Amino acid sequence: MGEVTTNIPDSKPSAPVTEAAMDDLDKDAKFKTRNVDVFYGDKQALFGVDLDIRANEVTALIGPSGCGKSTYLRCLNRMNDTIDICKVQGQIELDGMDIYSNALDVVHLRAKVGMVFQKPNPFPKSIYENVSYGPRIHGIAAGKEDLDQIVEESLTRAGLWKEVKDRLNEPGTSLSGGQQQRLCIARAIAVQPEVILMDEPCSALDPIATARIEELIDELREKFTIAIVTHSMQQAARVSQRTAFFHLGYVVEVGETDKIFTSPDDKRTQDYITGRFG
Amino acid sequence: MSFYLVLIALIGLTIAGFYLGRSCAMKSADGNARVLHSRPHYYGYFIALWCGLPAILVLTVWTTMQTPIVESIVQSGLPASMTSDDPSRMSLVMNDVRNLASGNITSGEITGDVREAADRYNSLIAIGELARFVVILSIGIAAIAYFRTRISPSFRARNQVEKILMSLLVISSTIAILTTVGIVMSLIFESLRFFEKVSPTEFLFGLEWSPQTALRADQVGSSGAFGAIPLFAGTLLISFLAMCIAGPIGLLSAIYMAEYAPRKVRNTVKPMLEILAGIPTVVYGFFAALTVAPFMRDTGLDLGLVISSESALAAGLVMGIMIIPFVSSLSDDVINAVPQSLREGSYGLGATKSETIKRVILPAALPGIVGSFMLAISRAIGETMIVVMAAGLGANLTANPFEAVTTVTVQIVTLLVGDQEFDSAKTLAAFALGLVLFCVTLCLNIIALTVVNKYREQYD
Amino acid sequence: MTDIAMDTSPTPTDQNQNQAARASEAVKRGLKKRYAAERRFKAYGIAAVLIALGFIATLFGTIISNGLPAFSETVIKLEIEVSEDIVDPAGERDPAVLASANYRKLIFDEFRGLFPDLKGRSDRRAVTRILSSGATFELQRLVTEDPGLVGQTITFEVPVAADFDLYHKGVISRDVGEDSRRLKDKQLDWFDSLVDKKMIDSRFNITFFTHADSRDPELSGILGAITGSFFTMLVTLMLSFPIAVAAAVYLEEFAPKNKLTQIIEVNINNLAAVPSIVFGLLGLAMFINFFGLPRSAPLVGGMVLALMTLPTIIIASRAALKAVPPSIREAALGLGASKMQVVGQHVLPLAMPGILTGTIIGMAQALGETAPLLMIGMVAFIVDVPGGITDPATVLPVQIFLWADSPERAFVARTSAAIMVLLGFLIFMNALAVLLRKKFERRW
């Protein structure tokens, strides 16, 4: 009987960032993060993350559970501010502006950077009110007609208009899981953001709904910059142009999706892709 | 004191029964406990329970009935010179007999007849107490003797004991129902007697409340008006004023503590608000009468307003203070029950905290908050001491908070705390008012709880 | 594929950028107003909390500032010669004679001797009103307890009359015109002369804690009320605790999930919300009128309060029983214990801290209850300290209520002091419950 060797990777990578990751940085990127550390109390969750999100592209963030992908994503729209014990250090820039500076207000930031969550969370309001919530509070719409148009456009872009146009007054919670998630996407779109962050948007959905949303993501990237955290490598391969591999709070490798999935530079990436751990 | 003597003797007998039962069991098994079905002490408990429980029951009944029975015997044995058809005269006579019998002073002179009756009273009581002692102990001894014969190794003592205990548990549980039944029955019974004298329509819809009843048949001004609308109006006015204070303050402080306050602040302030709920209402009433009402009256004078010293405003303000924790505690719970995912969705879209609260959280928590308001209103309607001490006694149909009004609860107290004969319409009116109060608060509570429960289902 | 409705204008990207830019501008414009609204909203919340805390502070402040003066009483030191001629002419020291001797004359004569300049009967009578009627009783008590005092000169301290007590504490003062106060100037002069003679002193108000109610404020105390409360609480506890725990055990552990059980549970929840005065009506109609139990007795009061406290203790006990994990029950059952043994020997002891906490809180609520006890008659003026649960009695909250109604100014301080005592008990009980909870409750 031969020995069964399992390739267990190092508990702490020897070098935080590989050469390849450094090369990937682009000075014109939409989002530039440099040397970002994130702490939950005394526990450090992210170590010196250097990563760029490029405009009008879908960037996938992959990696095993608990390695910081969602934490990173939540830094980009400062959702980590809502957690008391969370501390963010380092530099995060959107279009060249430090998002933690006083020049960019957090409310304004979140209007520019929208978020779709893992579990669909429509408000217990009507479909119309769900989508019009954002534009209303920001004062984006010029009047009722303008608001109606925004709602219609957003629902159309999210691929939901045909299905709900006759029942806009029904509660958002009466829709199916997949529809609810598309409603949440429509809600995020209605605020006219530039970036949409998606935190495992399909993990609570069935395959058919997942397929529809993946189609949607592909269409959306024409207008928006998208960063998507996903557990499914196949999904990452399907929808994204660039992929970043996170492991234990470090960005191990970043690059074009094709390259990452066929011939990654780092062994750990290779091991993850081939399913040796996860 | 003889009661305690019987009680102690009975307890002693019960304990003796325990040891007797246990030793009997051991004897029947020739000292080998393993042969017995149950552990030996269960045989002891078996005897003890059968000795003690029936005896205690008889003791309670006997003690309760002893005095009334003796009194009726003595009363029926009184010479004709002392009896009269007038019940109040009779009770005066019996009072004298009772007082003399216990060595207190009497109201009238001590005639020979009275002294004889008093002596008879005392001797009957003495006989009764002796008989009670004998009967109770006999019951106990008989129980021990009878149940002792049942003891044998195969006798399932533990099962029997557990059966007895179980029936005690069941009886205890039904006491809750019995209480409700008792409340409803006594209220309805007395109210029906009231409605024989005053019609329900006059009571529920009448606009004048001045409860007078004739003490003598020929008394002038004996017609009482029993229209309760002014009372309902007064109750509603004061409760409304109370909610005007407690509603905003309670809700806003709940929102602040649930959403804004740092943990340390929340942990210190929340218990302090709970203190408000623990202060006895008589203290609030005193505070209202001593400080708040005069303050209002004097401020009114300064401002050129006439504020009564028993104004609805003073009572309503203090009652509002008392209810604040009801609103804030319950609202705090429902606000915390709103799932975090909704908040994140709202923040993610770029809403500020206040916008999230106003547009997402409060609408989501609304059923629960409405429920808490209804419970608070129910509490305000049923509140007694604050209004007794700070509100007025005269029925007044008005919406002006500066005037004195009276409420349902105040009238219940004043009607019953005076020296009234129990049968007069005046005292029975109190029960009719009590019935209305009970029904209204019950409805409010049921609706409130249904609303809150339905809301909880939504999020579980 | 989804429909994307697009109009035929400048390139999609330009269109998008314009839209996004316009939206961004709109957001920027609105920020200032929205943050102002945010600050306002937060300020409202803080204001609400501060107002509520302010109410608490005002309440406690008023009560304490009114009540503290009552904890000291003004006394006068009297030196009386217990003249044998007046007290016991026969010289036999017969107790009956000693008890009914004219001590009043002794004291008044002595007292008037301090004011030799007084003319006129009305003045001479008025000056004795500085003394309380308690002076006579105190002298009587001293002599009857120790007949050896006859013939000697004894000194003892008695409280002064209530109005003069208020004067000594500064509540009645000369600043107000003579017509608008209860004591005239010459009365104040007499009192001041006593002060100069060093006969007036302030001491801790023992009377308050050792006497029962009285018509004279300076002689009134809360001993009767406290004893009454004690007996009532005793009855309440002995009735409600076993019944409530038994009911909770049955409902939680044994009751089948059928309609009857549901009805019982709904009943208990409703009873918890019934106004307390309705329980008083029940007590009046059933216990006093139907069963003929004595009015004003702690027995009846205890029974009514027990019915009121039942739901509280049942609900708390059920929560405590529910918190014991099923694994404990299963382990015991697995070893062959009967259901009742499991409950009695394992579950109940573990749930006891929670049950006791709930009981203490229920008792604290019952201690402060007034309305139902008014209904059953505990509102009479009782001057004796009750000796048992069937003697007429009053309880502390009712005593407070009665004193609050009294028009005499001197009772205000005493009412506040009684409230402080009551609140003291309640704080103690609640602190005990919290301590119990912290120390013994286990987190499963």
Of C3, C12, C20, the CB nearest to A192: C20
- Distance, CA of B164 to CA of B161 (rounded, Å): 5
Q: Which residue has the higher pLDDT, C129 or C40?
A: C40
Q: Could you report the per-residue pLDDT of B279-328, keeping only the tens digit for each? A: 999 999 999 998 999 898 888 888 888 888 888 899 999 999 999 999 99
Q: Is A138 on the interface with B (CB under 8 A)?
A: yes
Q: Using 50, 70 and 90 to split pLDDT, how confident is the model at C187?
A: confident
- Distance, CA of B455 to CA of B369 (rounded, Å): 10
Do C2 and A222 count as a contact with CB atoms less than 8 A apart? no
Q: Which residue has the higher pLDDT, B457 or B220?
A: B457
Asked whether the beta carbons of B59 and B136 are under 8 A apart, the reply is: yes
Of A139, A157, A161, the CB nearest to C26: A139
- φ, ψ of residue B31 in degrees (nearest 5): 80, -5
Whole-number pLDDT of residue B88: 66
C419 neighbourhood in chain B, CB within 8 Å: 283, 286
For tokens 């007064």, what's the residue? Answer: B234
Region C296-303: what's the mean pLDDT?
Answer: 90
Do B350 and A79 count as a contact with CB atoms less than 8 A apart? no
Q: State the alpha helices, DSSP H only, in C146-258.
A: 162-168, 185-196, 206-210, 223-249
Whole-number pLDDT of residue B352: 93
Q: Would the pLDDT of C9 be above 60? A: no
Q: Would the pLDDT of C155 be above 70? A: yes
- Residue B257, min C-alpha distance to chain A (Å): 15
Poorest-pLDDT segment among A197-206, B121-130, C313-322: B121-130
Q: Would the pLDDT of B381 be above 70? A: yes
Q: Would the pLDDT of B376 be above 50? A: yes
Do B347 and A110 count as a contact with CB atoms less than 8 A apart? yes
Of B344, B350, B352, the CB nearest to A121: B344
Of C20, C22, C28, the CB nearest to A194: C20
Do A125 and B363 count as a contact with CB atoms less than 8 A apart? yes
- Residue C27, min C-alpha distance to chain A (Å): 5
DSSP run (H or E) holding A183: helix A177-189
Asked whether the beta carbons of B411 and B433 are under 8 A apart, the reply is: yes
Q: Is B92 on the interface with C (CB under 8 A)?
A: no
* Chains near A (3 or more Cβ pairs under 8 Å): B, C
Whole-number pLDDT of residue B421: 55
Q: Is C30 on the interface with A (CB under 8 A)?
A: yes
Q: Which residue has the higher pLDDT, C43 or A20?
A: C43
CB atoms within 10 A of CB A220: 22
Nearest CA in chain A to B262: A84
Nearest CA in chain B to C279: B183
Residues, chain B? 460
Q: Is C313 on the interface with B (CB under 8 A)?
A: no
- φ, ψ of residue A100 in degrees (nearest 5): -95, 0
Q: Which of A132, A161, A223, A225 has the most C C-beta neighbours within 10 Å, making it the best mutation to test the interface with C?
A: A223
Q: Using 50, 70 and 90 to split pLDDT, how confident is the model at C306?
A: very high
Q: Using 50, 70 and 90 to split pLDDT, how confident is the model at B221?
A: very low
Q: Using 50, 70 and 90 to split pLDDT, how confident is the model at B215?
A: low
Whole-number pLDDT of residue C232: 93
Region B120-132: what's the mean pLDDT?
Answer: 86
Q: Can you give the pLDDT of all 278 residues of chain A as single tens digits?
A: 444 444 444 444 444 444 445 556 666 778 889 999 999 999 999 998 999 999 889 999 999 888 889 999 999 999 998 888 899 999 999 888 899 887 778 999 999 999 999 999 999 999 999 999 999 999 888 889 999 999 999 999 888 999 998 999 999 989 998 999 999 999 999 999 999 999 999 988 899 989 989 999 989 988 899 999 998 888 999 999 999 999 888 898 899 999 888 888 888 888 888 888 76
Q: Is B103 on the interface with C (CB under 8 A)?
A: no
Which residues 1-60 of B have a C-beta within 8 angstroms of C? none
Q: Would the pLDDT of B217 be above 60? A: no
DSSP run (H or E) holding C382: none
- Residue C28, min C-alpha distance to chain B (Å): 12
Sign, CA dihedral C254-B450-B387-B205, equals: negative
CB atoms within 10 A of CB C407: 5
Q: Would the pLDDT of B126 be above 50? A: yes
Do C370 and B384 count as a contact with CB atoms less than 8 A apart? yes
DSSP run (H or E) holding C393: none
Q: Using 50, 70 and 90 to split pLDDT, how confident is the model at B1?
A: low
First to last CA, chain B: 59
Chain mean pLDDT for chain C? 86
Q: Could you report the per-residue pLDDT of A33-74, keeping only the tens digit for each? A: 999 999 999 999 999 899 999 988 999 999 988 888 999 999
The ipTM, to two decimals, is 0.88
CA-nearest of B355, B331, B356 to B344 is B356
Share of chain B above pLDDT 90, in %: 32
Q: Could you report the per-residue pLDDT of C230-269, keeping only the tens digit for each? A: 999 999 999 999 999 999 999 999 988 888 888 888 888 8
- φ, ψ of residue A247 in degrees (nearest 5): -150, 120
Share of chain C above pLDDT 90, in %: 35
Tokens of C60: 């406690």
Share of chain B above pLDDT 70, in %: 91
- DSSP letter, residue B33: G
CA-nearest of B409, B377, B404 to B391 is B404
Q: Is C432 on the interface with B (CB under 8 A)?
A: no
Do C23 and A140 count as a contact with CB atoms less than 8 A apart? yes
Q: Would the pLDDT of C94 be above 90? A: no
- DSSP letter, residue A169: T
Q: Using 50, 70 and 90 to split pLDDT, how confident is the model at C15?
A: low
Q: Would the pLDDT of C47 be above 90? A: yes
Of B341, B348, B349, the CB nearest to A119: B341
* Chains near B (3 or more Cβ pairs under 8 Å): A, C
Whole-number pLDDT of residue B209: 85
Asked whether the beta carbons of C397 and B282 are under 8 A apart, the reply is: yes
Tokens of B454: 């339905």
Q: Would the pLDDT of B71 be above 90? A: no
Chain mean pLDDT for chain B? 85
Q: Could you report the per-residue pLDDT of B393-426, keeping only the tens digit for each? A: 888 888 888 888 899 999 999 888 765 555 577 7
Which residues 338-367 of B have a C-beta within 8 angstroms of A? 339, 341-352, 355, 359-360, 363-364
Tokens of B292: 């708040």
- Residue A185, min C-alpha distance to chain C (Å): 14
Q: How many angstroms from the chain centroid is the CA of residue C420?
A: 7
Q: Is A187 on the interface with C (CB under 8 A)?
A: no
- Distance, CA of B297 to CA of B310 (rounded, Å): 9
C26 neighbourhood in chain A, CB within 8 Å: 138-140
Q: Is B285 on the interface with C (CB under 8 A)?
A: yes
Tokens of B226: 């029993």
Q: Which residue has the higher pLDDT, B33 or C439?
A: C439
Q: Using 50, 70 and 90 to split pLDDT, how confident is the model at B432?
A: very high
Do B350 and A82 count as a contact with CB atoms less than 8 A apart? no
Do C368 and B279 count as a contact with CB atoms less than 8 A apart? yes
SS3 of residue C291 by DSSP: coil
CA-nearest of A89, B178, B405, B243 to C286 is B178
Do B183 and C423 count as a contact with CB atoms less than 8 A apart? no
Which residues 202-231 of B have a C-beta within 8 angstroms of C? none
Do B349 and A111 count as a contact with CB atoms less than 8 A apart? yes
Q: Would the pLDDT of C1 be above 50? A: no
Of C3, C16, C27, the CB nearest to A162: C3
